[in-house]
Amino acid sequence: MDERTPERAPRWLVWGGSGAAGVAGLVWGYGFGAQLAGPLLGVVTALNCAVICALLAGAALERLPLGRHGRR
């Protein structure tokens, strides 16, 4: 890797953060959907929110520079 290019986030961090965001989206989405129109829509909304949250968190964490900047 080039000296000026910082290392990216490790794969386990991206997967872990994406999974945690997916679980948070699942819980929040179910509460929102169930309040809106009952348990069936709660499940549908929970699945949609979990996927969207996991994808967004994974994309954000992949771009996070975590390496040492002064490395030679």
pLDDT tens-digit map of 42-51? 999 999 999 9
Please name which of 21, 23, 43 lies closest in space to residue 31, comparing C-alpha atoms: 43
Residues forming beta bridges with residue 8, ordered by sequence position: 65
- pLDDT tens-digit readout, 6-30: 677 788 889 999 999 999 999 999 9
Q: What is the mean pLDDT of the chain?
A: 87
What is the Cα–Cα distance from 63 to 72, expressed in whole angstroms? 22
For residues 11-45, b (16+ Cβ closer than 10 Å) or e, as one string? eeebeebbeebbeebbeebbeebbeeeeeebbeeb
Close Cβ partners of 17 (under 8 Å, ≥ 6 residues apart) = 57, 58, 61
Q: pTM for the full model?
A: 0.78
